Amino acid sequence: MKKLKVVVLMVSAAALVLSISPVYAKNPVKLILWHQEQPPQRVKRYQEILDGFMAKHPDINIVQQVQTWGEAYTKTMGAIQARKAPDMQFTVPDFTANIKRSGVVQPMDEFVQLLQGKYHIYESALAPYYYEGHYWAVPLYGMNHLLYYRKSVFEEGGLDPKNPPATWGELLQTIERFVEGGVVPHGMGVPVSKTLAGDQFIYSLMVTNKAEHLFGEKKDEIVFDNPRTIGTYEFWKKLYDTSPPGSLAWQWVEPQLGLIGKKTLFGIILGGFLGHWDTQAEALPEDLAAGFVPRPEDGQSGTVYYSNGVMLYTKDKAKQEAIKTFLEYLFQPEVMGYFLNAQPGLFLPISKEASEADSFWGDPRVQRYADIVKLEIEQSKYGKLYGFTRDEVNPNIGRIAGQYLLAQTAQKMAIEGLSAEEAVKWGADKMREAIR
């Protein structure tokens, strides 16, 4: 009966978006959507949703064009300069702040007001897109990190898998116990590459140590070089020293593989890990466990958290109205639940209604890891994103984020042997240089 219920829920959700190929009107409004979610299952799910929408609205034709995050900055600016920008594009907060400097990004206040009139959208998802008196994107889904580990490994080391380490001290003690005891060869899988993976790992630690601010109250004031940040990098170095050889080049996948292969005890990883565990781990779903990112004794609960959204380039009023119609369709809870499960466990709801949708919780993978998904949603309440931690968003963050200066600061310690204080000073100087 339980399996039957899951099938019924999934079929019901799919029925809202799956349809025969849409029959377009004679002169439909044509829209180009760029997004950077290139994994095939995501592209396929998005096309199903677009086809379902266009079947209901034959006067609107939406074409998705897939990009990559690696080329998003340069390709988007090139398209804007050539006057060939898409009508809308998926985004994250610092990408919006960066692209907005081109003058092409259009305010989306009316879009947000329309959707807020129907749904309870979380303020944490909206806030990073509001500055200079306008909303510059509509949030669609959130992402954050948890501390992942294997229950069977915990039990092998004589610890209760229901009680992961909550503090930095407990985390180091647990790693020492398991590595020295020969249960696992390494402690934490630490990505150190000059990438988002490197930035976001270190920033999750910064949040827990109350070092979340890169900027002061003034937009041109860098406060990165402070005792809390230095303390965070000192702790980061202790974790890095427990990471496997070669982690200087690690990005997203390697920490996941370390945990799957029992090479590491812990990983601070995005929720997309659930998919990798399902397809690569020689373990049952119930062997995977997660907890909040550990914090210092005088710290706070937290993680890196950011909402992904859609921003608007076109000034054409007919196209803007068509995009409003599409977003109204997408935000219907059962459609949104189906949309979120283009990558189950990674894409988190940003509205109360979506978080309660049967199409979200009915997905088989979400059901298998329901406790972890619930923990992700709970952890989101404490999440923050660098450059978006003050009451007013600092538009200078776009000039810093693209250089991955948080990860570069860590590399100064790992490669050149700088102390945390020296490395953080270097990072702060680079940030000041970037915003001049």
pLDDT of 173 reads 98
pLDDT of 43 reads 98
Relative to beta strand 29-35, strand 88-91 is: parallel
For residues 60-80, one letter each, b for 16 or more C-beta atoms within 10 angstroms of the residue's C-beta and e for the rest, the string is bbbebeebeeeebeeebbebb
Please provide residue 46's backbone torsions phi and psi, each rounded to the nearest 5 degrees: -65, -40
Domain 145-304+383-435, CATH class in plain words: alpha beta
Region for residue 387 given its phi and psi (left: phi exceeds 0; alpha: psi -120 to 50; beta: otherwise): left
pLDDT of 376 reads 95
Q: Give DSSP secondary structure letters for 287-335.
A: GEEEEPPPB-TT----EEEEEEEEEE----HHHHHHHHHHHHHHTSHHH
pLDDT block averages, 10 residues each, the chain of length 436: 50 56 75 96 97 97 94 94 97 92 96 97 92 95 96 96 97 98 98 94 98 94 98 98 96 95 96 89 86 98 95 98 98 98 95 96 96 94 91 84 93 98 98 94
Residues ≥6 apart with Cβ < 8 Å to 304? 144, 145, 200, 203, 204, 207, 383, 384, 385, 386
**CATH code for 2-143+306-362?**
3.40.190.10
CA 409 vs CA 205, 406, 429: distances in Å = 14, 5, 11
Domains 2-143+306-362 and 145-304+383-435 are alike in CATH topology: yes
pLDDT of 4 reads 46
Residue 360 CA to residue 345 CA, distance in Å, equals 10
pLDDT of 15 reads 56
- Taking Cα atoms as reference points, which of 256, 295, 258, 259 lies closest to residue 276? 256
| Residue type (1 letter), 287 | D
- Quick one: CA dihedral 186, 190, 194, 197, positive or negative? positive
The domain spans of the chain are: 2-143+306-362, 145-304+383-435
Read off the pTM: 0.90
Burial class of residue 282, CB neighbours in 10 A (0-12, 13-18, 19+): exposed
Q: Give DSSP secondary structure letters for 344-360.
A: TTTSB-SBHHHHT-HHH
Residue 266 CA to residue 242 CA, distance in Å, equals 10
